[in-house]
Structures are given as C-alpha cells and as structure tokens.
Amino acid sequence: MRRHYFFIILFVIGSFSCAKDNNHSGYIDENQALLENLNEVDGRQHTYNYDFELLEFREKVDYYAPVSFSEALVSIPSVMRDKLNLISQSDLPFAAQQEANIVTSWNAFNKLVFQVQFSYLENTTGYQTNFKDFFIVSVTQYPEDPFADEQATLAMEENIKGYEKLVLEGTHPMYYKPASGSWPRMFDYYKFIEEDKLMDKESTGSSQYYTWYNGLIYRIGFNMNVSATDHEALIRKIILGS
C-alpha cells in the first residue's frame, strides 16, 4: 500500500513539473510565445498591395501597439528576422524617426503568419502631414513563391499597369512603380491612433516596390527626394543584404 501511495505522489509531482515547464502548452503555434510582451489592440483592416492581391484574404487578424525596431525584431520568428537587412537612418535623405508595427493572422494550415512594418518617418503625427518624407518597409511571411509559375505570373502581370519589371536576383522578379503624375498609386500603411488604442489603415500616394524573396513578401513605399538617393540600391540591400 505504501508503495502504491509512493507512485501516486511521484505521478502528481511529475504532472505538476510538466505543467510548470510547459508554460506555452496552450498555444496552437509555438511562435505565439513571441507576442507575450506586446500589447494587443483593436484594428480595422490589414494592409496589402491592391494590384497583386496576394495577401487580400487573411484569417483572424490581430494587431499590436507600435514598438521600437529592436523590440519588433525579437517579437518575430528567427526564420523571418534572420532574413531582414534593415537600413540605417543615415541611408535616407531626411532625418527619420523609427517605429515598427506587428500584425498576425492564421493560414489554412493553422500556422501563425507574421507581418511587420518598419517605418522611417520624418513626422510621426502622420505620413501625409505637410507632405513629409517617409520610407516604409512591410514584410509578410509567404512560404511559396507566387511568381514561380510563369503562366500564372504572366496572367497576374496583365492586370497590373504602370509597373516596371526588374530582376531582383536570378529568376526572381521585382516590380517598381514610381509616384508619377497627379494620381500616384496609393500605398497602405498602419497608423496607430493612441487615444482610441486603435491600429488604423491609411493610404497615401508613393513610389513603391513589390517582390517575393526567400519566403517573404516585401512591399516598400516611400516619399522622399529620389534624386538624392539610389532607392533601388536601398531596396536590394534590405532584401538581399548587399
């Protein structure tokens, strides 16, 4: 009988120990643990490129209050973080303040998908205020290359107008649309409304790049003195690291 009680005690202690060690056992995806230090807020709509529409439909979108670049980098999966090559403020032709936004959603395989927006802002009160300069990098996880199928890519390209098709690397295309004319293409970005604790989506005309590389979709928009900066070189540095 004593031996029987002894094993019961060991079982209880072992169960308690396992429960204590598995602090994240309630998570569907282990990467949910990366979000523990972020403050979840309400949000209206997620951002994507209207022309390519690859990220138009997303399930269970969650929004988080803005953080610093360093905080954002430790709050996203390493498989994503290790591929990012952020530029410094000195690379831009304006004095920039930095802010990052993280948004998550779920894919069809019940895996958590991260989107992170890195914003370099001349004026944090609003990108459109007094037509201030900005440079915004939006990166979203997307494992499969959407441009791998040549016929599907050609069909997609028939519906996009005004983009210059460049070669990013090898067979990977990169699309560029300058902010020309009186009606430049609108670029979506996240803007946090502090008094409402709300992550809003706003749009402004800008030059923009769009591409997929190494499991990530890059959507980059900017308004700045393009004659003072080799913006294509900056884009390649962010994506390729050189």
* C-alpha to C-alpha distance for 142 and 131, rounded to whole angstroms: 32
At residue 109 the predicted structure's pLDDT band, cuts being 50, 70 and 90, is confident
Taking only the tens place, the pLDDT of each residue in 5-17 is 444 444 444 443 3
Taking only the tens place, the pLDDT of each residue in 40-69 is 999 988 988 888 878 777 889 999 999 999
Taking only the tens place, the pLDDT of each residue in 20-47 is 333 545 788 899 999 999 999 999 889 8
> Where do the domains of the chain lie?
27-240
- Quick one: pLDDT at residue 133? 87
Reported pTM: 0.85
- Quick one: pLDDT at residue 125? 55
- Quick one: pLDDT at residue 156? 83
- Quick one: pLDDT at residue 182? 59
Taking 80 as the threshold, does the pLDDT of residue 152 lie above it? yes
Residue % of the chain over a pLDDT of 70:
84
* C-alpha to C-alpha distance for 173 and 151, rounded to whole angstroms: 14
Higher pLDDT, 3 or 153: 153
- Quick one: pLDDT at residue 135? 95
